[in-house]
Structure formats: structure tokens, C-alpha cells
Amino acid sequence: MPSKESIEKMSLYLVDFSNVFFPLNRLSLGGKLVAVSMEEAPGKRSDQLSPEELKNIPDSHWAQFEKDIRVLAERGVDVDLTKKSNFYYDTKKGFQFIDIDGISQYKISKFYKDPRTGKRYYTRFEKFPVYEYSDIRDIFNQMEKVELGGVAKSRMITDVPMPAPDLVDFIPDQSD
């Protein structure tokens, strides 16, 4: 749950993203219960897209999706790539980011490259294992489909070690 300070920082750092929906307010519900409010994202929850709808997503929307993840990570936003329900898809606007609940003063490395092999890897969430991928569709397809209120399970698909400090041999992948 984001702090009030974190919500204020997000409103400053993310104002130029029309497709990122972050908490606007933190509300006390009494006792230890709190809730956040945010604008409703347009489109359909990504985990509810049919195979036909996924096939019809234009390459430009996939490219923008990866670019946005990279830019957000550069700004210290750790986009949660563990489950498809963290994104909505709008046929006109592309991918919409929801469930943004934190921002750091440091940039976050989500993409890595093994300089020895040229293979590309990403991490779903800070301190999660890394996974091999060739393009953004691989990342999307490897996300767990989670029903509302469910918990995503991490599933390693490669023997690559956990992120830092074990990624010493890897370099941040700056390619788009």
C-alpha cells in the first residue's frame, strides 16, 4: 500500500503518462484498514483477452508497451510483471498500467543482457528470478493469469540466477 509521500511522488513523476493509473488518494477505513482510489483505466483487463484479441494487437502497441515499461523503470517505478491483470488493453490507446503502488528515487533495472551469449532477460518484479525472452510478447505470455484476488506464482523458465548481486556478469539492456 503506497504511503501519502509515495502517492505525491507518483503524481509528479508520472503526470506525462496518460496510460499509467496510480493511486490518487489513500483513505483510512478505520482500524488497520486502508484503501486507495484511482481513475478507472479504459479497455479490458489483459488477462481476459481472447486469443483472437491478442492476435489482433498491432506491433506498435506491443512496442510501446515495452518502451513504457523501460521508461517507468528508469523513473524508479517497479512495474509488476507477475500477472496480466496489472494491465488493461484498449484497442485505440494500447496497454494501460494499473496497480502502481510504489516509486523509488533510484532507477530499476528490469532488462538484462548476457554479453557472452547476447541472450536477453527480464525480471518480473524486484528481487524475483530473471526470465529469458526474445520480445515483449514472450514477457506478456509468461505472466500468470490470475483471477481477481488471486496470488501470482513465480515460475522460472531458465536457470539464470536471481537478480543482483548474482547478475554481476549481466549488463542492463538499454535496447528498445
The DSSP code for 103 is B
**Residue 139: enclosing H or E segment and its boundaries?**
helix 136-142
pLDDT of residue 149 exceeding 50, the answer is no
pLDDT of residue 158 exceeding 80, the answer is no
Residue 5, pLDDT score: 82
How much is the average pLDDT of 66-89? Answer: 90
Q: Which three cell numbers stand for residue 29?
A: 477505513
| In contact, 2 and 26? CB cutoff 8 Å | yes
Q: Where are the alpha helices (DSSP H) in 2-120?
A: 4-13, 51-55, 59-74
Residue 102, pLDDT score: 77
Residue 150, pLDDT score: 42
Residue 175, pLDDT score: 63
Residue among 129, 114, 131 at smallest CA distance from 170:
114
pTM: 0.78
Residue 95, pLDDT score: 98
Map out the domains of the chain as residue ranges.
4-172
Residue 134, pLDDT score: 87
pLDDT of residue 162 exceeding 70, the answer is no
- The least confident of 9-23, 74-88, 154-168 is 154-168
pLDDT range class, residue 26, cuts 50, 70, 90:
confident
pLDDT digits (tens, 9 = 90+) for 86-136: 999 999 999 999 988 778 877 877 888 888 888 888 887 766 677 788 889
pLDDT range class, residue 143, cuts 50, 70, 90:
confident
State the Cα–Cα distance between residues 57 and 165, nearest whole angstrom. Answer: 37
